[in-house]
Amino acid sequence: MNPTDLTLSRRATVDWRSYYEITKPKVVMLILFTALVGMLLATDGMVPLPILFAGMAGIGLAAASGAALNHLVEQRTDAVMQRTRRRPLPSGRLDALSALLFAVALGALSMVLLLVWVNPLTALLTLLSLIGYALIYTLFLKRSSPQSIVWGGLAGAAPPLLGWAAVSGDIHPHALLLVLIVFTWTPPHFWPLAIRRREDYARAGLPMLPVTHGVAYTKQQILLYSVALLAVTMLPYATHMTGLFYLLGALPLGLGFVWHALRLYRSEGDRYAMPMFRYSIVYLAALFTLLLTDHYLPY
Q: How far apart are CA 158 and CA 105, in angstroms?
A: 21
Percentage of the residues of the chain whose pLDDT score is greater than 70? 95
Q: How far apart are CA 204 and CA 74, in angstroms?
A: 10
CA distance linking residue 73 with residue 75, whole number of Å:
6
Nearest alpha-carbon partner for 167 in 59, 293, 289, 243: 59
Q: What pTM did the predictor assign?
A: 0.93
Tens-place pLDDT, residues 28-60: 999 999 999 999 999 998 999 999 999 999 999
User: What integer pLDDT is reported at residue 139 of this predicted model?
Assistant: 83
Q: How sure is the predictor about 4, in pLDDT bands with cuts at 50, 70 and 90?
A: very low
Chain mean pLDDT for the chain: 93
Residue 266: its H or E element: helix 244-266
Q: Which is higher by pLDDT, 74 or 3?
A: 74
Distance of CA 80 to the CA centre of its chain: 23
Helix extents (H) in 23-138: 25-41, 49-73, 75-79, 96-117, 120-131
Tell me the mean pLDDT in the region 152-166: 93
How confident is the model over 210-267, as pLDDT tens digits? 999 999 999 999 999 999 999 999 999 999 999 999 999 999 999 999 999 999 999 9
CA distances from 234 to 41, 52, 180, 247, 278 (A): 17, 28, 12, 7, 22
Span 10-22, average pLDDT? 75
- At 10, the pLDDT band (50, 70, 90 cuts) reads very low
The percent of residues above 90 in pLDDT, for the chain, comes to 82
- How many other C-beta atoms are found inside a 10 Å radius of the C-beta of residue 242? 24
Contact 103, 72 (CB under 8 A): yes
pLDDT in tens, 181-208: 999 999 999 999 999 999 999 998 999 9
Please choose, from the candidates 241, 258, 238, 250, the residue with its C-alpha nearest in 3D space to the C-alpha of residue 290: 250
Q: What is the DSSP string of 9-26?
A: HHHHHHHHHHHHHTT-HH
Fold of 1-170: Tetracycline Repressor; domain 2 (1.10.357)
Query: Is residue 5 scored above 90 in pLDDT?
Result: no
